[in-house]
A and B are shown apart, each in its own frame.
Chain A
């Protein structure tokens, strides 16, 4: 079997296995927080959502610190059970699958929670009144209702898993996947081979995204009739209650532990830690180093600047395109919509290669300059990577805007400009901020495309994190991680404001 065939087979295998594992975790946790009456559901919900804004590369690095051969948890288990070697091998297919499961469950989780929340409780009451058991109600009423959410989440997760780069690259240890093969070909300067691999990966992603788009339209064809709000169900059997809680808290442990690990290890003295299994000395030294030494702080500065610029440009583009798409219902607006959706179907590694091959020569569109090697190339890449999600967020906010608010404002004497600034903008602002925040977070911790396109002057924090790890400076690496997480938490709070500040009137 050729290397490329093996990589293709492995890619599909990882994609399928990721879907199954993420489905188990995401759907189970959605039921735990939204279907059953459980304690701390709100806090657990917020923790589970954090995976949406935390860059994957940070979690991968944290997992390495915890579960690799020299990892804290592996060594801890080896020590307490007096084993000759660590009890598991955190590498290859199982390693990638483990990372994917606890970082990519989020689509299943979000979509299933939305489906459960929109379930009309009167349907359940009606079925129960006809004598249906709880089990029967689940299979006849609940499952058909959440099935479209599961289907679309499967497709979304599959598309992301097959194009995943950081987990196969950092944890794979020689396990070949298409995304890592592309980097390999690029490093060997086999650009034709890289382009072919890019095309194969892009075809898989695009086919998946097309099916996703078809089912997503079906899923959200909602009924506008009044529904009875879903009421959480108590778990009556005590053993079942214990089993469900233990499973949920175990999953939660795997999700939280990398974040706790990053925070804890960012205070560890790296030199002492290299000599012993567990870090013994903790201090603020890593933070002092990052914030006091310009060279070490430069990647943070670069990433902040590039992420803010990308988010700013993407938001402006999203506002303009959303306005145009909603205003004109013609072929051009549909074409514009298609172009905005297209980047979602392009894996990051593919985008990186496409940008190298497209912009490595002087182009008229770039005023006879080449983009490769410039500071701006990463900004452009970040914009392309996030434009779909930013424009979706803006478009949704714009299309949900109740035209009657505009009419009411004008009827009360406000002109077009007053109506835009006083009514339209404040109402749609949460959607715009959400888009901006998501683009900012994705760009801040982006690794895949950065690994292909970064240069000396624009080295981002995600690359610096991995480099620090390779230089055995895990403390600095973890400190970079904490800085990104802190910004992630701040932005998550910002996005949360969207739900608190506005309850759009129907």
Chain B
């Protein structure tokens, strides 16, 4: 059921401004691949080019080796779930889900069976005759998914499908989408600006920045080896330390222009508790952010503010703001930054 997708040097401009620079990616059969990036980075434009709603200025797109760059949307065999679902307001749930089958001329008996099967998959059996306007946001989203999968697409596109749901529903729906995608084996592209969402759901992620893909890899690879300061800052939380400040953090032996240290990799303790623990640096707690399962300390190290995360185990006793603290960074936790995507002032 899946397809192999290939973007080959895709470029797109609007009014002389390039929004996609030379994009090349290969997406494997049955993979859930995420386009991740902040608003305006070009991820949705690339998705729309793949769907056929936009034409690239140059470059090609192939599905299973066939060039579909100039193929009209209806002939691409790609289904899309839109951010605002785009359910047809004049149709019932059944009519929406059956629409794609009907325009393909599928027999009525087969349509009924397929719609029932798809509604069952998204746990909406019994909703077939409901009007779209009677459904909640979560139910509408499920109808949109059912409609998309009903036509057995080669590629499924999900354009920020969780953005209109509340936090709790987002969590459950995210896992349901993942399970559905795995069971159907459809090659799926998921667009989001939420790095947490991307990390949880994806097989692989492409991180977009200003119309370019700055990092591609599995969630673990990207998180553990962000390679650029933009990725390090966008995926999870991090402290980026420049070479000129290395000595303040006891990083004198590190050979890099910049390093990234994740807040949870830093051990923190009150200065009075310190024994002989090796490489260390000191600072003063300015602010505490309580996050339930974790506590984030904002610590001032001379003139640089860094973040330190400590897991809240219940028995953990929080350190008070204003306390002088000592911090230790294990050598393995220091990640080298090899490129910079962010213009720095100094």
Q: Are A412 and B89 in contact (CB under 8 A)?
A: no
When distances are taken between beta carbons in the complex, the residues of chain A under 8 Å from B76 are: 411
In whole angstroms, how far apart are the Cα atoms of A159 and B8 in the complex? Answer: 61
CB distance from A190 to the nearest CB of B (A): 56
B71-118 residues with Cβ-Cβ distance < 8 A to A are 72-80, 82, 84-90, 99-100, 103-104
Q: Are B74 and A411 in contact (CB under 8 A)?
A: yes
Residues of A in contact (CB 8 Å), total 23
Q: A358 at the A/B interface (Cβ < 8 Å)? A: no
In whole angstroms, how far apart are the Cα atoms of A402 and B75 in the complex? Answer: 22
Q: A174 at the A/B interface (Cβ < 8 Å)? A: no
Which of A402, A412, A427 is the one whose CB lies under 8 Å from B99? A412
Q: B51 at the A/B interface (Cβ < 8 Å)? A: yes
Q: Are B73 and A407 in contact (CB under 8 A)?
A: yes
Which of these binds chain B: A33-41, A240-248, A277-285, A418-426?
Answer: A418-426
In whole angstroms, how far apart are the Cα atoms of A184 and B253 in the complex? Answer: 103
Check A505/B51 contact, CB under 8 A, given A410-B72, A412-B100, A413-B151.
no
CB distance from B217 to the nearest CB of A (A): 29
Q: Are B86 and A405 in contact (CB under 8 A)?
A: yes
Q: B219 at the A/B interface (Cβ < 8 Å)? A: no
When distances are taken between beta carbons in the complex, the residues of chain B under 8 Å from A503 are: 89, 133
Residues of B in contact (CB 8 Å), total 29
In whole angstroms, how far apart are the Cα atoms of A230 and B296 in the complex? Answer: 41
Q: Are B86 and A402 in contact (CB under 8 A)?
A: yes
Q: B311 at the A/B interface (Cβ < 8 Å)? A: no
Q: A114 at the A/B interface (Cβ < 8 Å)? A: no
Nearest B-chain residue to A423, judged by Cβ? B88
CB distance from B262 to the nearest CB of A (A): 35
When distances are taken between beta carbons in the complex, the residues of chain A under 8 Å from B85 are: 505
In whole angstroms, how far apart are the Cα atoms of A415 and B76 in the complex? Answer: 12
When distances are taken between beta carbons in the complex, the residues of chain B under 8 Å from A408 are: 80, 82, 86-88, 147
Q: A368 at the A/B interface (Cβ < 8 Å)? A: no
When distances are taken between beta carbons in the complex, the residues of chain A under 8 Å from B104 are: 413
Q: B52 at the A/B interface (Cβ < 8 Å)? A: yes
CB distance from B137 to the nearest CB of A (A): 11
Q: B290 at the A/B interface (Cβ < 8 Å)? A: no
Question: Scoring A residues 388 to 410 as 1 if CB is less than 8 Å from chain B, else 0, what string do you get?
Answer: 00000000000000101101111
Q: Are A407 and B82 in contact (CB under 8 A)?
A: yes
Q: A137 at the A/B interface (Cβ < 8 Å)? A: no
CB distance from B167 to the nearest CB of A (A): 17
When distances are taken between beta carbons in the complex, the residues of chain A under 8 Å from B103 are: 409, 412-415, 418, 422
When distances are taken between beta carbons in the complex, the residues of chain B under 8 Å from A418 are: 103
When distances are taken between beta carbons in the complex, the residues of chain B under 8 Å from A413 are: 74-75, 77, 100, 103-104, 151
Q: Are A504 and B89 in contact (CB under 8 A)?
A: yes
CB distance from A426 to the nearest CB of B (A): 4
Q: Are B147 and A412 in contact (CB under 8 A)?
A: yes
Q: A292 at the A/B interface (Cβ < 8 Å)? A: no
Which of A409, A410, A426, A506 is the one whose CB lies under 8 Å from B84? A506
CB distance from B103 to the nearest CB of A (A): 4
Q: Are A407 and B89 in contact (CB under 8 A)?
A: no
Nearest A-chain residue to B147, judged by Cβ? A412
Nearest B-chain residue to A426, judged by Cβ? B90
In whole angstroms, how far apart are the Cα atoms of A90 and B79 in the complex? Answer: 68
In whole angstroms, how far apart are the Cα atoms of A207 and B90 in the complex? Answer: 42
When distances are taken between beta carbons in the complex, the residues of chain A under 8 Å from B82 are: 404, 407-408
CB distance from B83 to the nearest CB of A (A): 8
Question: Scoring A residues 473 to 506 as 1 if CB is less than 8 Å from chain B, else 0, what string do you get?
Answer: 0000000000000000000000000000111111
Question: Can you list the 10 inter-chain pairs with the closest CB atoms, starting with the nearest?
Answer: A412-B100, A404-B86, A410-B73, A408-B86, A414-B103, A426-B90, A411-B80, A410-B74, A413-B74, A404-B82
B residues touching A (Cβ–Cβ < 8 Å)? 51-53, 72-80, 82, 84-90, 99-100, 103-104, 132-133, 147-148, 151
14 additional A-B pairs beyond A404-B82, A412-B103, A413-B100, beta carbons within 8 Å, are: A402-B84, A402-B86, A404-B86, A407-B80, A407-B86, A409-B88, A409-B103, A410-B72, A411-B74, A412-B147, A426-B88, A501-B90, A504-B89, A505-B85
